[in-house]
């Protein structure tokens, strides 16, 4: 209640913005007031000429006329002054603001004074006090300030007017006039207060809008997390730098920076600490490259456009500082460098090249920096080719699944296949997933390939079933990004299964351990849905990443695919065997069945069988092969289809 009253009376503190807006609106009102006043005074000049000279026929006397109209002249000049100030008023200029105050107050005081004088005379002569009322209305509308100030001001003016007349007239002011005067004051006060609140509300709304706008503009060019510029800004500014006629493109280089292993820092210390780390790293980069164009592209990737001269020292400085930020996780600072080949090269394309060069240092302890040269350019062109021709390759049927046999360890009979994508290209020849999968993931188009493979697998299964040939379940590989990039990955699969009438137990869904370690809600939900609708979930590449066993307990995997890395050094290293034993038991304990990948020798197969691993897959049993080859091998008895899957 008290707060409500305080607010109504304007005791609540306004922001500087609201105060300024209210003043600006006062100045805007001044234009109308000034124009009305000027018009009225000019009319009065004419009116006096007409009434006192023309109609009566008295000869014109200039000095007398001036005497008679001098009050109007003062008002006219004050009005003109106010009009000029209001017209030239500049919102953001302190001096004009002050001038605005002075002009409105001066105008109000002068108008009130004349209103007072005229109405005093009028009242004494038994006439209405209209001049005072009008003038007080002007002043009130011009000086919309906080309600309590307006109330005090108006009350003061009205009381002064009333007490002067009350003292001057015999027997005091007439009661009826007192009541009228009081009512007018009250009415005017209420109007002024309501105008104030309206204006305050409008100003507050605009303030919020402008703040939101500024935020949007900031978001447009700043990276929210690190507070340095973002890629959008980088590309725009880089284009401007190269558009400068005086610049020599040979003086500049593009630098792509990748903080390798940052993911592990995140995993270990959490998201918040990871974000702080990125913020500090961004700051270090900006410091080291002062005067250059620096931005964060995304994740742990940064972009720099800098001078060739001095770049080496700067790179070294920032690398040292970032590495020394902490010693718990080995963060590699990797650089890709691209020297622009012309002035007209598109900054995005240039960054792509630097980025590609940087990608060649990935997972290499001996290499922190890669310069984009002719050799790198060949790889880059192939990568561009892959991205630009994905759809063409899908449509033309250049992309198709190859099938790698999965067998029961106990008797070597065929119990399934893994569908592995192959791209047989007329220009580049045989492309393996290692060539195109990482590229398609980088460019976030991997889902197009996966959708194509899923459909091919369903079609191949359908054909085999229609022809009455024996079929085995096929495992398909989901990329982590599929769940992000496909509208609805589960629905997509369901639709294919429906279209080709495939029993759900004929499809196994493989998801890598690293995909679920990110633990995104979307992936978790999708996996639950897949599991609930009857697909077996296979955990791919178990043991290849750093992810924790902890995440595993939250998912319902049917089969654990033990990564082929466990077989490295199998022959010479006794520890490899005990580790394999341990992992097979672990799967058992977690109520998953096990499959070991990458089995290449009889000895390995023998060992795994003894260890209790249920399924085996690897070159020893067969490389991935085309559907027709698989069919031939089943026909010729190379593979004996298991009775039970
Ligand atoms: P992955 O899912 O772990 O597939 C197993 C990879 O190991 C295959 O490589 C296979 O050819 C290879 N391999 C199988 N047995 C042996 C062996 O005994 N020794 C050796 N050294 N290697 C063996 P590939 O076909 O090159 O695929 C590589 C990776 O590409 C796959 O790893 C998978 O992550 C990805 N990939 C393949 N096809 C697809 C696909 O259709 N969609 C998605 N998203 N990823 C795919
Ligand atoms: Ca796989
Ligand atoms: Ca695998």
Q: State in Å: Cα 150 to ligand 3 middle.
A: 79
* Closest by CA position to 639, among listed 326, 319, 417: 417
Would you state the pLDDT for residue 34? 93
DSSP state of 322: H
570 contacts 608 by C-beta, under 8 angstroms: no
Ligand number nearest to the C-alpha of 405: 1
Superfamily of domain 385-635: EAL domain (3.20.20.450)
Helices 231-243, 175-221: axis angle to 10 degrees equals 80
Q: State in Å: Cα 616 to ligand 3 middle.
A: 12
Q: CB 584: neighbour CB atoms within 10 A?
A: 21
Q: State in Å: Cα 644 to ligand 3 middle.
A: 23
Report the nearest atom of ligand 1 relative to the CA of 453: 41
Of all protein residues, whose CA lies closest to atom 11 belonging to ligand 1? Answer: 624
Of all protein residues, whose CA lies closest to atom 43 belonging to ligand 1? Answer: 477
Q: State in Å: Cα 415 to ligand 2 middle.
A: 16
Q: State in Å: Cα 176 to ligand 2 middle.
A: 98
Of all protein residues, whose CA lies closest to atom 24 belonging to ligand 1? Answer: 433
- DSSP result, 3-26: HHHHHHTT-SPPPHHHHHHHHHHH
Using alpha carbons only, how large is the chain's radius of gyration in Å?
A: 42
Would you state the pLDDT for residue 586? 92
Q: State in Å: Cα 60 to ligand 2 middle.
A: 109
Tell me how far the alpha carbon of residue 157 is from its chain's centroid.
Answer: 56
Helix/strand/coil for 242? helix
Would you state the pLDDT for residue 535? 97
The CA dihedral of 6, 8, 13, 19, to the nearest 10 degrees, is: -160
Q: State in Å: Cα 550 to ligand 2 middle.
A: 22
Of all protein residues, whose CA lies closest to atom 10 belonging to ligand 1? Answer: 624
Q: Which stretches does DSSP call E strand in 501-575?
A: 507-512, 536-542, 559-562
Tell me how far the alpha carbon of residue 489 is from its chain's centroid.
Answer: 24
Q: Give the integer Cα–Cα distance in Å for 59 and 65.
A: 11
Residue 633 structure tokens = 């091998």
Q: Hey, which of 508, 563, 597 would you mutate to test ligand 1's pocket, going by the most ligand atoms within 8 Å of its Cβ?
A: 597
Ligand 2 is an ion; residues with CB less than 5 A from it? 477, 510, 540
CATH 3.30.70.270 domain extents, the chain: 229-372
- Partnered with residue 596 across adjacent β-strands are 562, 616
Q: Which stretches does DSSP call E strand in 223-262?
A: 229-230, 252-260
CATH 3.20.20.450 domain extents, the chain: 385-635
515 contacts 522 by C-beta, under 8 angstroms: no
Tell me how far the alpha carbon of residue 230 is from its chain's centroid.
Answer: 10
Q: Hey, which of 390, 433, 566 would you mutate to test ligand 1's pocket, going by the most ligand atoms within 8 Å of its Cβ?
A: 433
Cα separation values, 366 from 139, 334, 360, 362, 369, Å: 81, 11, 11, 10, 9
Q: Which residues of the chain have pLDDT under 50?
A: none
Measure CA of the first residue to CA of the last residue in the chain; give whole Å.
76
Superfamily of domain 229-372: Reverse transcriptase/Diguanylate cyclase domain (3.30.70.270)
**Where does ligand 1 bind, in terms of residues with CB under 6 Å?**
404, 420-421, 432-434, 437, 446, 450, 453, 477, 479, 540-541, 564, 597-600, 618-619, 624
Ligand number nearest to the C-alpha of 489: 1
Ligand number nearest to the C-alpha of 562: 3
Residue labelled with tokens 């002043």: 139
Report the nearest atom of ligand 1 relative to the CA of 476: 41
Of all protein residues, whose CA lies closest to atom 29 belonging to ligand 1? Answer: 433
104 contacts 82 by C-beta, under 8 angstroms: yes
Would you state the pLDDT for residue 12? 83
Q: State in Å: Cα 477 to ligand 2 middle.
A: 5
Of all protein residues, whose CA lies closest to atom 17 belonging to ligand 1? Answer: 598
Q: Hey, which of 420, 431, 619 would you mutate to test ligand 1's pocket, going by the most ligand atoms within 8 Å of its Cβ?
A: 420
Length of the chain as a residue count: 645
* Closest by CA position to 369, among listed 357, 383, 379: 357
Would you state the pLDDT for residue 553? 79
Phi (first) and psi of residue 512, to 5 degrees = -75, 160
**Helix-then-strand count for the chain, H and E:** 22, 15
């Amino acid at each position: 209640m008290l707060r409500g009253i305080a607010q109504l009376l304007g005791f609540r503190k306004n922001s500087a913005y609201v105060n300024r807006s209210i003043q600006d609106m006062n100045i805007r009102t001044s234009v109308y007031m000034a124009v009305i006043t000027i018009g009225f005074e000019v009319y009065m000049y004419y009116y006096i000429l007409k009434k006192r000279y023309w109609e009566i026929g008295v000869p014109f006397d200039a000095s007398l006329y001036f005497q008679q109209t001098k009050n109007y002249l003062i008002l006219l000049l004050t009005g003109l002054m106010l009009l000029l100030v209001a017209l030239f008023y500049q919102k953001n200029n302190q001096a004009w603001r002050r001038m605005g105050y002075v002009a409105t107050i001066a105008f109000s005081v002068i108008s009130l004074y004349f209103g007072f004088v005229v109405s005093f005379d009028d009242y004494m002569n038994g006439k209405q006090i209209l001049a005072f009322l009008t003038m007080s209305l002007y002043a009130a509308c011009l000086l919309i300030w906080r309600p309590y100030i307006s109330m005090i001001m108006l009350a003061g003016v009205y009381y002064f007017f009333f007490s002067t007349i009350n003292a001057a007239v015999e027997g005091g002011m007439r009661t009826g006039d007192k009541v009228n005067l009081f009512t007018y004051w009250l009415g005017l006060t209420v109007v002024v207060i309501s105008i104030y609140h309206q204006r305050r509300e409008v100003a507050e709304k605009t303030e919020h809008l402008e703040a939101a706008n500024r935020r949007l503009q900031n978001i447009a060019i700043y990276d929210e997390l690190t507070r340095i510029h973002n890629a959008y800004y980088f590309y725009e500014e880089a284009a401007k730098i190269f558009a400068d006629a005086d610049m020599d493109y040979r003086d500049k280089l593009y630098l792509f920076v990748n903080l390798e292993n940052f993911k592990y820092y995140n995993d270990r210390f959490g998201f918040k600490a990871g974000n702080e780390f990125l913020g500090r790293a961004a700051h270090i980069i900006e410091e080291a490259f002062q005067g250059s164009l620096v931005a964060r592209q995304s994740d742990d990737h940064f972009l720099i456009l800098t001078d060739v001269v001095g770049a080496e020292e700067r790179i070294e400085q920032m690398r040292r500082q970032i590495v020394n930020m902490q010693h718990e996780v080995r963060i590699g600072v990797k650089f890709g460098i691209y020297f622009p080949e012309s002035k007209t090269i598109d900054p995005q394309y240039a960054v792509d090249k630097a980025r590609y060069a940087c990608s060649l240092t990935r997972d290499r302890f001996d290499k922190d920096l890669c310069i984009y040269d002719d050799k790198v350019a060949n790889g880059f062109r192939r990568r561009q080719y892959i991205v630009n021709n994905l759809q063409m390759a899908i449509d033309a049927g250049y992309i198709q699944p190859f099938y790698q046999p999965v067998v029961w360890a106990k008797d070597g009979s065929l119990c399934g296949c893994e569908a592995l994508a192959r791209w047989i290209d007329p220009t580049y020849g045989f492309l393996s997933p290692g060539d195109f999968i990482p590229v398609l993931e980088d460019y976030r188009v991997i889902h197009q390939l996966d959708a194509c493979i899923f459909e091919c697998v369903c079609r191949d299964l359908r054909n085999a079933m229609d022809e009455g040939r024996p079929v085995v379940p096929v495992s398909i590989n989901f990329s982590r990004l599929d769940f992000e990039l496909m509208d609805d990955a589960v629905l997509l699969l369901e639709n294919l299964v429906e279209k080709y009438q495939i029993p759900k137990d004929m499809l196994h869904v493989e998801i890598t351990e690293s995909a679920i370690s990110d633990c995104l809600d979307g992936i978790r939900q999708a996996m639950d849905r897949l599991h609930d609708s009857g697909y077996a979930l296979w955990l791919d590449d178990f043991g290849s990443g750093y992810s924790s066993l902890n995440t595993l307990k939250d998912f319902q995997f049917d089969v654990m695919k033990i990564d082929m890395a466990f077989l490295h050094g199998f022959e010479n290293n006794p520890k490899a065997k005990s580790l394999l034993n341990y992992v097979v038991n672990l799967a058992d304990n977690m109520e998953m069945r096990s499959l070991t990948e990458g089995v290449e020798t009889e000895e390995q197969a023998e060992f795994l069988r003894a260890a209790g691993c249920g399924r085996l897959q690897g070159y020893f049993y067969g490389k991935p092969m085309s559907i027709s080859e698989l069919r031939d091998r089943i026909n010729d008895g190379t593979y004996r289809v298991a009775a039970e899957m």
